A and B are shown apart, each in its own frame.
Chain A
Amino acid sequence: MKIGVYICHCGSNIADHVNIEEVRKAIQEQTDAYVVKDVMFACSDSSQKEIVEDIKTKGLDAIVVASCSPKLHLPTFREVARRGGLNPYKYIQVNIREQCSWAHSDDKKGATNKAIRLIKAGIEKARFSEALDPIKIDAVNAVAVVGAGIAGLRAAIELADMGTYVYLIEREYFIGGRVTQWNELFTTNQTGREIITKLYHQLISYKNITLFTGAEIVETSGSVGNMQIKVRIKPRYVKPDCVFDLDKFEKAIEVCPVEVEDEFNFGLTKRKAIYKNYPGEFPEVPAIDFDHCTKCGECLKVCEGIDLEQKEEFLSLNVGAILLATGFDPYEPKQGEYGYGQVNNVITLQQFKRLIELCPDELVYNGHKVRSIAYIYCVGSRQQNGPNRYCSRYCCTAAMHTALLVKEKYTDVRNFHFTRGIRTYGKQEHIYHEALEQGDVVFQSFNDPLCEVEEQDGKPVVKINDFLTRGKPIELETDLVVLITGMVPRKNNTIAQLLKVPVGRDHFFNEIHLKLRPVETVIDGVFISGASQGPKNIMESVNSALAAASKANNLVKKGFISIEPTIAFVDTDKCQWCGKCLEICPFDAFEKVEEGGKQVARVITSLCKGCGMCLPVCPEDALQLHNYTDEQIESMIDDLIRA
């Protein structure tokens, strides 16, 4: 058997701590490898060509590349094997960068020795490797987009444009997400509603988009290409085929006697049990909040479109992929954090944005005219002692932009910014610049907490040791304190739990690779976008939504998907069906079948991920994994322990 071995320097990444020359010699002398070469960058095009040539001209039966982690380059070299005319699964990668060079940078001799052993084991693995073909499964050209905020809406429209069927699933009764809560947006000064109105009209013009509101995915099964999702649709208590008379609905809202805190306005105002968040919201009919409705029937008297008997419904949908655009929650300050909830007149940026909209002529809070505002930055972000170490990225610009708006709208207001250093990156810098030009005052501190907020004579007083003036203690009495709260991951993100979407250290969804695969997750067919992946402003969210749409479309459009053939297989002679494999399998990838007059286990190929959990529990030793067979593993161990 002719095996080719290529040892990569990775520039100096490997060669600095592993003696490549010594490794090459050892492999040449101590193994029967047919070709042994060292290369500067195995992944570079010229080295790839060289390997392809070797396979063709020297008739290699298998190849081993000793380089970096297979996480990075397994697909690259499988493709090299394929181009050389070799089955891609006759390629074995040995990781001498992360496992030797980087792990043992203090011990060149040891790292070199370890590299030699690992490569020898790799050669053994290659020797017993089998040629495999990817498993092709059918894919449904439909995608479930979860969340109808700006990211979800844009992804849905783009997917539909590219010819994919979209189910757009929104948990709330109304679409638009957080964007509808902000009025003017940086950096274009369009309003959130203007944008959502435009997108909504676009959305409903597509025949291949179905929108569900008040809907939530409650169950998922199947796997990439063919996923079954069960959607629960909460009743809106409005007849679906009612005469569309908005005046009557307005009347119904008017007569409703129940008043509850309005979440849309972050508790600044009250709303009724039958409600819309704002006039002109989409869908245009109101919904009834049944947690608070007393079923008094007043609304029924004025509007025949209401039906209090509606029941929740369940729908089953079949999709090829799921695109998550579940967004974020604004950070909720703790009681007493910068005076929140304890000192008079301390609100969050989100509340403040709503307040500005609710005060058309004069900025009034708690019945008092507001003349000076203190903005306290990084609340819930960049915590030195709390769990949120990350920067929420959008808030500096959002705060500065709000300060500009306030000054423009109410002219006689003064702005004071208490910051950790302003991060209006890129072109957003001009917003910071304008704020300074209009006379806003900026303080800075590196302390945690940044400043202190106390109440004096019913008014908040902010105290800071200002770094910009040699740490001078400064006290500022102000009418209103606005806490610039960052983004945190969504609470109650049930779909994430159902799909087991991995999260990062910051608890936002985690991508496979920030640069190479930023919208894909380790779960095949599940894509992430927008602020669900980490704080983003609107343009960045839309960019990521469109990128995710492009990847999802690419995956399902062809009608089939190729999946890894390195999955479990059953030796039916040995198998006595005890069911232990099905019990332990996290993907339910086994079924019981009749074969040769007895009951045996069968692997459901579209579900098996090749994790290998089932192998050790089989009492008959009837299970093996393609290309991780006992024969391979045992011969690898033999070579590893041989001195």
Chain B
Amino acid sequence: MLEPKKHYDVLVIGGGIAGQETALNLANLGYKIALVEKDYSIGGKMILLSKVFPTLDCAACITTPKVSETARHPNIDVFTYSQVEDIFKQERGFRFTLRQKPRYVTEDCTGCQLCEQVCPVVVEDEYQYGLIGRKAIFIPHSIANPRIAAIDIEHCTLCGLCENVCPPKSIDFTQQERVDEIYATAVVLATGYKLFDPTIIKRYGYGKYKNVVTAMQMERQLVPTRPFNNILRPSDGKVPDNIAYVLCTGSRDVTLGNPICSQVCCMYSTKQAQLLMGALPMADVTLYYINIRAFGKGFCEFYQQARSMGVGYVKGKVGRIFEKEDGNLILRYEDIETGEVAEAEHDLVVLSIGILPNKDYQNLFKNVRVEHDPYNYVRQVDELTSPARTSVDGVFVAGTASGPMDIPDTILSAGAASSETASYLRKVYKEIQPSLS
């Protein structure tokens, strides 16, 4: 575990692209950064994506360099599998507790994965969104950073097989968590978003019908290191040839308490449809939508391209999904074009799940309150002219912590957070020591 410094210029909470971009911008100006990530690897959700719209860049190819630049920047200390707790605002800056949790594997790990081969415990792999299993000792995913194994102690049987095979003897069951009290002059919230859990919509049968999957599960099937090296439907491993997308699953839905639009689902579904047309040239892909929100730079053109490739777009909200005996699914939807309730059969259904606020930040601060907006995202107190400012002086927000946004907007928002943080630091340090100007 990393021994933290006593004082950092900036505490960045969240190691996704927003957190990394902010940390890198500030570190390049010479500021010392503590980047704290609760997961085993930095990279956030983006590192798990396949290709990204509208340029179809391979997500791994554009995140890994950023991840590795962050990881080895001399001004950034990255704490993975760690938590920030109890932040107190002080006269100048913030005091907080940093809890580094044990992975039970030391930094000597070379990522050889021999331990994974011998571990007898198999559990669902959360990084593959349950598509396949993983072991109790595991490397989160092929491009994880740090590429160090971790032991999922809840499932580990302490059989010790991994200890026996590990070449650098990096397994350490005695590892303890490390708790430090640290200071930072400013805080950046880059805590990202949560994905909507579609089991809540019983009508769609997710979790009950095997061939109803989420878009994130499809995303993992489409990544360059895809688990099946092909697109397969879960019930019988058949290659699907008639795929449906149900848009606005969990978004724009007052009944679910999420009335707003998630801003990315139309486009990621359109992107997946294009990728599927490439991977399965014979397959039909149909998107059931309310409105197609292809608003960003190059998005509308990308959407038109999907249409001309033959992706079907049906305006109509899906009301209910039924399962047939052969695992195929019947979608019942309101077809706006005909004005009638219609049914269609598909052999795989992808739910384009929306994004929800990650509310973790709401309990972090002890003596001040970071306000939230009506949807539980971090409230931008000066949305139009200082979008990164929050209700607490010295606390800034970057990326989807303040609302749904796509990758280009996240990078810009992180850019804004870094420059506002830099200005803030300059102001604070000038007060302490006027000659620093």
Q: Is A542 an interface residue (CB 8 A)?
A: yes
Q: What is the size category of the interface that chain B forms with chain A?
A: 35 or more
Query: Which residues of A in the span 520-558 have a Cβ within 8 Å of any Cβ on B?
Result: 533-535, 538-540, 542-551, 553-554, 557
Question: Which residues does chain A contribute within 8 Å of B405, judged by CB atoms?
Answer: 426
* A548 near B415: Cβ-Cβ < 8 Å: yes
Q: Is B330 an interface residue (CB 8 A)?
A: no
- Stretch from A170-178, A326-334, A416-424, A633-641 at the B interface: A416-424
Q: Is B146 an interface residue (CB 8 A)?
A: yes
Q: In the complex, A44→B69 CA distance in Å?
A: 10
User: Closest residue of chain B to A551, judged by CB?
Assistant: B415
Q: In the complex, A44→B147 CA distance in Å?
A: 9
Question: Which residues does chain A contribute within 8 Å of B422, judged by CB atoms?
Answer: 161-162, 550, 553
Over the window 62-78 of chain B, the binary record of Cβ atoms lying under 8 Å from chain A Cβ atoms (1 yes, 0 no) is 10111110011000000
Q: Of B72, B261, B336, B385, which one neighbours A542 at CB under 8 angstroms?
A: B385
Give the Cβ gap from B359 to chain A, nearest Cβ, in Å: 16
Give the Cβ gap from B30 to chain A, nearest Cβ, in Å: 9
Q: Is B363 an interface residue (CB 8 A)?
A: no
Q: Is A382 an interface residue (CB 8 A)?
A: yes
Query: Which residues of B in the span 34-64 have a Cβ within 8 Å of any Cβ on A?
Result: 52, 54-55, 57-58, 60-62, 64
User: Closest residue of chain A to B28, judged by CB?
Assistant: A554
Q: What is the size category of the interface that chain A forms with chain B?
A: 35 or more
Give the Cβ gap from B404 to chain A, nearest Cβ, in Å: 5
Q: In the complex, A538→B387 CA distance in Å?
A: 10
* B409 near A429: Cβ-Cβ < 8 Å: no
User: Closest residue of chain A to B145, judged by CB?
Assistant: A45
* A73 near B60: Cβ-Cβ < 8 Å: no
* B297 near A427: Cβ-Cβ < 8 Å: no
* A190 near B384: Cβ-Cβ < 8 Å: yes
Question: Which residues does chain B contribute within 8 Å of A429, judged by CB atoms?
Answer: 252, 259-261
* A45 near B261: Cβ-Cβ < 8 Å: no
Q: Is B232 an interface residue (CB 8 A)?
A: no
- Stretch from A133-141, A252-260, A464-472, A604-612 at the B interface: A464-472
User: Closest residue of chain B to A179, judged by CB?
Assistant: B384
Q: Is B388 an interface residue (CB 8 A)?
A: yes
Secondary structure at chain B's binding surface: helix, strand, loop or mixed?
loop
Q: In the complex, A48→B345 CA distance in Å?
A: 48
* B409 near A543: Cβ-Cβ < 8 Å: yes
Query: Which residues of B in the span 123-146 have a Cβ within 8 Å of any Cβ on A?
Result: 142-143, 145-146
Q: Of A11, A46, A422, A535, which one neighbours B224 at CB under 8 angstroms?
A: A11
* A515 near B52: Cβ-Cβ < 8 Å: yes
Question: Which residues does chain B contribute within 8 Å of A390, judged by CB atoms?
Answer: 297-298, 300-301
Q: Is A425 an interface residue (CB 8 A)?
A: yes
Q: Is B238 an interface residue (CB 8 A)?
A: no
Query: Which residues of B in the span 401-416 have a Cβ within 8 Å of any Cβ on A?
Result: 403-405, 407-409, 411-416
Query: Known interface pairs A12-B225, A539-B384. Does A516 touch B62 (Cβ–Cβ under 8 Å)?
Result: yes
Q: Is A585 an interface residue (CB 8 A)?
A: no
Query: Known interface pairs A391-B294, A518-B412. Does A45 touch B71 (Cβ–Cβ under 8 Å)?
Result: yes
* B404 near A543: Cβ-Cβ < 8 Å: no
* B385 near A154: Cβ-Cβ < 8 Å: yes
* A41 near B404: Cβ-Cβ < 8 Å: no
* B419 near A546: Cβ-Cβ < 8 Å: yes
Question: Which residues does chain A contribute within 8 Å of B377, judged by CB atoms?
Answer: 427
* A470 near B338: Cβ-Cβ < 8 Å: yes
Q: Is B99 an interface residue (CB 8 A)?
A: no
Query: Which residues of A in the span 191-219 have a Cβ within 8 Å of any Cβ on B?
Result: 195, 198-199
Over the window 191-235 of chain B, the binary record of Cβ atoms lying under 8 Å from chain A Cβ atoms (1 yes, 0 no) is 000000000000000000000000000000001111001000000
Question: Which residues does chain A contribute within 8 Å of B413, judged by CB atoms?
Answer: 543
Q: Is A430 an interface residue (CB 8 A)?
A: yes
Over the window 148-186 of chain A, the binary record of Cβ atoms lying under 8 Å from chain B Cβ atoms (1 yes, 0 no) is 001000100010011100000000000000000000010
Query: Known interface pairs A10-B58, A199-B385. Does A163 touch B437 (Cβ–Cβ under 8 Å)?
Result: yes
Q: Is A1 an interface residue (CB 8 A)?
A: no
Question: Which residues does chain B contribute within 8 Å of A393, judged by CB atoms?
Answer: 295-296
Over the window 35-63 of chain A, the binary record of Cβ atoms lying under 8 Å from chain B Cβ atoms (1 yes, 0 no) is 00000110111101000000000000000
User: Closest residue of chain B to A155, judged by CB?
Assistant: B419
* A10 near B338: Cβ-Cβ < 8 Å: no
Q: Which residues of B does A touch, CB under 8 Å?
A: 25, 28-29, 52, 54-55, 57-58, 60-62, 64-68, 71-72, 111, 142-143, 145-147, 223-226, 229, 252, 259-263, 291-301, 304, 315, 336-339, 373-375, 377, 380, 383-388, 403-405, 407-409, 411-416, 418-420, 422-423, 426-427, 437
- With A161-B427, A396-B295 known, 6 other A-B pairs at CB within 8 A are A13-B224, A45-B147, A154-B385, A506-B298, A516-B62, A543-B409
The 3 closest A-B pairs by CB, nearest first: A11-B224, A547-B415, A161-B423
Query: Could you pull out 21 A-B pairs where Cβ atoms are within 8 angstroms?
Result: A12-B224, A41-B64, A162-B419, A163-B426, A188-B384, A391-B294, A427-B260, A427-B373, A429-B261, A430-B260, A467-B336, A505-B301, A519-B415, A533-B297, A538-B384, A540-B412, A547-B411, A547-B415, A550-B419, A551-B415, A557-B29
